[in-house]
Amino acid sequence: MGWGTGKGDSSGDGKHAGKKASLKAAGLEPRVATGDGAAGCAASARYDRVIATCSVRQVPRAWVEQTKPGGVILTPWESPWFCYGLLRLTVDGQGLASGWFSPHSAFMLMRNQRTDLRIYRDVVRDEHVPTESVTRLSPWAVTGDDWAAQFAIGLQLRNVWRTWHDNPDVDGVASRLWLATTDAESWAAVDWDGRSDDRFTVWEHGPRRLWAAVEVAYQWWQSVGSPGPERFGMTITPEGKHTAWLDSPEQPVPDLS
Ligand SMILES: C[S@@+](CC[C@H](N)C(=O)[O-])C[C@H]1O[C@@H](n2cnc3c(N)ncnc32)[C@H](O)[C@@H]1O
């Protein structure tokens, strides 16, 4: 079975028709249902496998309910911090789903889970008076090439996103990293002056000190041996609570959200 959103969408009827023809040529006769993938497809449930080709920040309840006991949900994962990781959940038949991540997946986010926030339009206001401090943690350590670090930060800070602003029109700032909560209530900025690589200015506003939280998340990840996604897992309860863990469900990842 495949999911799409209807005519006009790149995954709509036309594209499905092509896929259907290819599958038929291979001797397979899939049933194609068109609609919101978050709702699954109750009509033919329950399934041995639910395989998503978009990423999710929350596994839709319908997917768990529509999977057979012992069946598997495979879905690309995304946190607002970083889109990375593939989650393979086994469903127990009583509403619980649990399983491991693996690396190397990055798919576009499911449509109804997108937040569409912009830092100047939605978050930072002229009247905000942020606190100022200095950090020695490089902003590139938590946003750069180290995908394992970014994945682990995303698991701990499930409602924080970030964006870079190069060459902002600010004296003495070559690049600025912005962070903000998905409710747009708290933000932080970390400035690189273009010279120093061990001293950065931090601005924070709102009820949460976001850069401080990122530092805690990064230190925790280092303290447990800088693990990659393959050492992490996730358990989802019948109530929909998502708990990330390291090595086993008995070791939950700190929730700094
Ligand atoms: C990475 S593409 C994969 C496309 C297709 N499955 C394939 O393998 O070629 C992700 C697709 O998910 C679709 N999508 C995103 N959110 C959706 C939703 N809530 N319901 C159905 N489709 C959705 C997008 O329109 C997009 O076509």
194/162 same-domain check? yes
Asked whether residue 94 falls in the same domain as residue 65, the answer is yes
Among left, alpha and beta (phi > 0; psi -120 to 50; other), residue 163 is: beta
Res. 12: pLDDT tops 60: no
pLDDT tens digits, one per residue of 158-186: 999 999 999 999 999 999 999 999 999 99
Transcribe 165-222 into DSSP letters: EES-SSTT-SEEEEEEETTSS-EEEEEE-SS-SS-EEEEEESSS-HHHHHHHHHHHHH
Residue 16 tokens, joined? 């499905």
> Mean pLDDT throughout 39-51?
95
Atom 22 in ligand 1: residue holding the nearest Cα: 4
22 ligand 1 Cβ < 6 A: no
Contact call for residues 63 and 73 (beta carbons, < 8 A): yes
pLDDT at 14: 64
- Asked whether residue 57 is domain-assigned, the answer is yes
232 CB less than 6 Å from ligand 1? no
Average pLDDT, the chain: 92
Residue 11 CA: which ligand 1 atom is closest? 27
CA 243 to CA 97: how far, in whole Å? 11
Q: Could you list the residue range(s) of the whole structural domain that residue 193 is in?
A: 119-223
Q: Say how many Å lie between the CA of residue 53 and the centre of ligand 1.
A: 6
Q: Are residues 82 and 56 in the same domain?
A: yes
pLDDT of residue 29: 86
What pLDDT score does 13 carry? 56
Edge-to-edge order in the sheet of strand 242-246: 47-51, 67-78, 83-91, 97-102, 232-236, 242-246
> Residue 37: how many CB atoms within 10 A of its CB?
24
Same domain, 90 and 186: no
CB atoms within 10 A of CB 17: 11
Residues 216 and 143 in one domain: yes
Handedness of CA 196, 198, 199, 202 (dihedral sign): positive
Q: Does ligand 1 lie within 6 Å of residue 222's CB atom?
A: no
Distance 142 CA to ligand 1 centre (A): 29
| 79 in any annotated domain | yes
pLDDT per position as a tens digit, 77-109:
999 999 999 999 999 989 999 999 999 888 999
Ligand 1 atom having least distance to the Cα of 2: 6
Query: What is the per-residue pLDDT across 206-256, written as a single tens digit (0 to 9) for each?
Result: 999 999 999 999 999 999 999 999 999 999 999 999 999 999 999 999 999
Please tell me the predicted confidence (pLDDT) of residue 5.
Answer: 40
Give the burial class of 43: count Cβ atoms within 10 A of its Cβ; 0-12 exposed, 13-18 middle, 19 or more buried.
Answer: exposed
Same domain, 51 and 96: yes
Residues 212 and 235 grouped into a single domain = no
Q: Give residue 18's pLDDT.
A: 80
Instruction: Say if CB 89 and CB 97 are below 8 A apart.
Output: yes
Residue 219 and residue 123 share a domain: yes
Residue 15 pLDDT level (bands cut at 50, 70, 90): low
Residue 164 tokens read as 């870079």
The domain total for the chain is: 2
pTM, two decimal places: 0.90
The finding on whether 54 has its CB within 6 A of some atom of ligand 1 is yes
Residues 137 and 91 both lie in one domain? no
